[in-house]
Amino acid sequence: MQVIILGSGSPLPDPDRAGPSTLVRTSAGDLLFDCGRGVLMRAAAAGSGAGAFRSLFLTHLHSDHITDLNDIFTMRWALSFEPNPLPVVGPIGTDTLLRATEAMLEPDIGYRLAHHADLQWRPSSTVTEAERGVVFDEGGVRVTAAPTDHAPVRPTLGFRIDDGGQSVVVAGDTVPCRGLDELCSGADVLVHTVVRSDLLEQIGLPRLTDVIGYHSSVPDAARTAARGGVRTLVLTHLVPAPAPGTEQEWLDQAAAEFDGEVVLATDLAIIDIAR
């Protein structure tokens, strides 16, 4: 199994960091977790794309995690040569989101149907709304969902991917919580969104300090990894984006709470899982 960070950024636009998105390569195909801004550009660089995603999993419906849903929905349809519904797994509310996305794209759908004689079907999706339990089980690959805590954003999910004795957890936005601890137990890799609460407090702007209360800090994520006996912790969705030369500060904060490997994500970073 292989983890590719397609986007390591946050809601704050950054020229070097696409929006939050993680690609997990499994024996059943490419599984995409969240789809922030620029995800298909990064997927193209990783040799993947909308038509290749075996399924899209949404941790929650915050705008920065779904910005490019419309791009995936459109490109999967427009670049396929037969009906190819987009499978989507997410929290309650995901079906409403997909229906609204399709409605928003209605003019474009009409233009393309009118122009391309060989495109004789509409784009479509198959949606599974989940709260807990196995949400994908195919070819020896199992994805399990559990509730996380990003209140007042409700509901939110974390996911664990198991494939041939290897395991990856994608946390999404959350504070430490029981559901995430359950997913992390014995995992090889934990991909966790984090904020530097110390830096946000120094900046002092309420709009930024507000985010501290419903995201994990670097030490929070490290303690979650330590409790679960995780081998590798990947810090992503970095708020604020690390200034050049400060990367070691992030790693040191995690290392103070966790003695496994720590990776500070960059776009297109690859984590190979081998036992």
Q: Domain segments of the chain: what residues?
A: 2-272
**Tokens for 93?**
């509310």
How do residues 59-92 score in pLDDT, each as one tens digit?
Answer: 999 999 999 999 999 999 999 999 999 999 999 9
Average pLDDT over residues 143-153: 97
How do residues 184-243 score in pLDDT, each as one tens digit?
Answer: 999 999 999 999 999 999 999 998 899 999 999 999 999 999 999 999 999 999 999 999
Catalytic: 272?
no
Q: 42 Cβ partners below 8 Å, 6+ apart?
A: 6, 7, 18, 21, 267, 268
Residue ranges in 150-212 assigned as alpha helix (H): 178-184, 197-203, 206-209
State percent of the chain over pLDDT 70. 100
**pLDDT of res. 57:** 98
Task: Confirm or reject CATH 3.30.9.10 for domain 2-272, answering yes or no.
Answer: no
Q: The whole model's pTM is what? A: 0.97
**pLDDT of res. 268:** 98
Average per-residue pLDDT for the chain: 97
State percent of the chain over pLDDT 90. 98
Strand partners, 55: 31
Q: How far does Cα 187 stand from its chain's mean position?
A: 17
Distance CA 61, CA 207 (A): 19
Distance CA 183, CA 179 (A): 7
The Cβ of residue 137 has, within 10 Å, a number of other Cβ atoms equal to: 12
Annotated catalytic residue, options 64, 68, 149, 163? 64
How do residues 87-97 score in pLDDT, each as one tens digit?
Answer: 999 999 999 99
**Tokens for 89?**
């797994």
157: left (phi over 0), alpha (psi -120 to 50) or beta: beta
Grade residue 275 by pLDDT with cuts at 50, 70 and 90.
Answer: low
**pLDDT of res. 31:** 98
